[in-house]
């Protein structure tokens, strides 16, 4: 059994589930909610006999019942070439095996429905030079990903060997990723570890949630500064689940500033954040070089929009003795 992955749509292959919370809906609407696709695409799957209810073909208007078992056979998308584009990128580290990109907020990492151009992969291909081959050419070279509206450091492999070694290091938790994040309200203490499984939200397939059958997810948080309405935190990932930091902070009642998806979008003016920007920045990346094994340490400065947001959050209640940098707040102090 496979699960629908998220905003990019369901993975090709067979998907199964009990109807449960989908009961009472038309079959096409139930499939759309389940797989996170449009009603039109869901209706097409039903019409093409790729959806079964208890092993039977049903019409799109069939009323789903709680005891029904749904299966969907999702076809692979038609092939589409990734077009190299001349898009400026900030590269903070590069050699023949690997490079580290400082991704701006608003840039999608790889091509997908609705974002076939203007992505980081398009830009990387436009630079020229080798990228590690991948089973999915849309994700060539990528070792991990960042959300569209998250800025910061992204690791890219240039050779097949580098991709294999770095992917193994990531799985073994030898790639260290730390984020600067601001959340609404205040943590109960200076440190917090959230160890809760993250999976697809059963009520909204476009979102993630804390679910009992989700994948193990653990994040350490350390408070760097306390402002009248928000905390500035360092977040250290032990795992790399989709939206992990955002879901973990929302689960303890302190959503990320500007996060419209998980309850932190209100007060955007107070936080001086532009539309569709959330306060999350991948600021520190350390990894063993895939050939030499020497630890590579890469740091990304706080973007201007987030530095400006800190000034707004201070509301005159905090005087700064130096420019607002992550160094000022002790972000890079290795206290683990």
- Asked whether residue 119 falls in the same domain as residue 47, the answer is no
Could you tell me the mean pLDDT of each successive run of 10 residues in the chain, 336 residues long?
45 86 91 85 90 94 94 76 90 97 95 82 91 76 94 96 94 96 97 96 88 94 95 96 97 97 93 94 98 98 93 72 80 78
- Asked whether residue 19 falls in the same domain as residue 102, the answer is no
Residue 55 lies in a domain: yes
> Residue 1: its pLDDT value, please?
36
Report the residue count for the chain: 336
Q: Name the token pair of 33.
A: 């909610």
Which of these three, 149, 171, 193, is where a domain ends? Answer: 171
The number of domains in the chain is 3
Q: Name the token pair of 59.
A: 């019409």
DSSP string, 140-197: TTBSS---TT-EEEEEEESSHHHHHHHHHHHHTT-SEEEEEEEEES--SSSEEEEE--
DSSP string, 234-271: EEEESS--TTHHHHHHHHTT-PBTT-TTTT--TTTTTT
> Residue 278: its pLDDT value, please?
97
CATH number at residue 35: 3.10.290.10
> Residue 13: its pLDDT value, please?
81
Sign of CA dihedral 170, 172, 176, 178: positive
State the pairing for strand pair 218-226/98-103: unpaired
3-state DSSP assignment of residue 137: helix
> Residue 39: its pLDDT value, please?
82
> Residue 78: its pLDDT value, please?
59
- Asked whether residue 190 falls in the same domain as residue 256, the answer is yes
- Asked whether residue 266 falls in the same domain as residue 243, the answer is yes
The CA-atom distances, in angstroms, between 219 and each of 34, 54, 175, 236 are 28, 40, 14, 6
Q: Which residues contact 214 (CB under 8 A, 6 or more apart)?
A: 196, 197, 198, 199, 200, 241
- Asked whether residue 143 falls in the same domain as residue 211, the answer is no
Q: Which residues contact 206 (CB under 8 A, 6 or more apart)?
A: 6, 7, 36
Residue 204 lies in a domain: yes
Q: How far apart are CA 164 and CA 167, in angstroms?
A: 5
Residue that has been written with the tokens 């790639």 in this structure: 175
CATH number at residue 188: 3.30.2350.10
Q: Which domain holds residue 248?
A: 176-279+310-314
- Asked whether residue 106 falls in the same domain as residue 162, the answer is yes
Cα 170 to chain centroid, rounded:
15
- Asked whether residue 27 falls in the same domain as residue 63, the answer is yes
Residue 83 lies in a domain: no
Q: Which residues contact 231 (CB under 8 A, 6 or more apart)?
A: 182, 183, 185, 186, 187, 223, 225, 254
* Selection from 151, 155, 154, 152 nearest residue 278 by Cα: 151
> Residue 6: its pLDDT value, please?
42
Residue 273 lies in a domain: yes
The answer to whether 187 touches 224, Cβ cutoff 8 Å, is: no
- Asked whether residue 136 falls in the same domain as residue 193, the answer is no
Give the residue numbers marked as catalytic: 147
Residue 330 lies in a domain: no
Q: How far apart are CA 302 and CA 269, in angstroms?
A: 19
> Residue 7: its pLDDT value, please?
41
State the pairing for strand pair 280-288/230-237: unpaired
């Amino acid at each position: 059994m496979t699960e629908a992955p998220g905003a990019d749509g369901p993975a090709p292959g067979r998907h199964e589930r009990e109807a449960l919370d989908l009961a009472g809906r038309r079959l096409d609407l139930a499939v759309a909610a389940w797989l996170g696709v449009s009603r039109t695409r869901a209706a097409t799957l039903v019409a093409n006999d790729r959806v079964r209810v208890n092993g039977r073909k049903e019409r799109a208007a069939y009323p789903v019942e709680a005891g029904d078992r749904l299966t969907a056979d999702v076809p692979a998308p038609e092939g589409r070439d990734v077009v190299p584009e001349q898009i400026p990128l900030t590269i903070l580290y590069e050699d023949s095996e690997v490079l580290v990109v400082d991704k701006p907020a608003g840039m999608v990492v790889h091509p997908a429905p609705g974002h076939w151009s203007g992505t980081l992969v398009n830009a990387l291909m436009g630079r020229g030079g080798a990228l590690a081959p991948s089973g999915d050419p849309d994700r060539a070279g990528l070792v991990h990903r960042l959300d569209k509206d998250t800025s910061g450091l992204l690791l890219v492999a240039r050779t097949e060997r580098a991709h294999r070694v770095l992917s193994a290091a990531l799985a073994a938790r030898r790639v260290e990723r730390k984020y600067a994040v601001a959340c609404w309200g205040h943590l109960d203490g200076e440190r917090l570890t959230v160890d809760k499984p993250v999976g697809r939200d059963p009520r909204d397939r476009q979102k993630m949630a804390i679910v009992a059958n989700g994948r193990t997810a653990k994040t350490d948080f350390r408070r760097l500064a306390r402002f009248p309405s928000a905390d500035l935190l360092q977040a250290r990932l032990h795992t790399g689940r989709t939206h992990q930091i955002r879901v973990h902070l929302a689960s303890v009642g302190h959503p990320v500033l500007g996060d419209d998806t998980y309850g932190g979008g209100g007060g955007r003016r107070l936080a001086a954040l532009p539309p569709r920007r959330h306060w999350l920045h991948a600021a520190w990346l350390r990894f063993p070089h895939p050939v030499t094994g020497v630890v590579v340490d890469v740091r990304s400065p706080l973007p201007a929009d987030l530095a400006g947001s800190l000034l707004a959050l201070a509301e005159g209640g905090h005087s700064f003795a130096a420019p607002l940098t992550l160094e000022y707040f002790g972000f890079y102090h290795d206290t683990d």
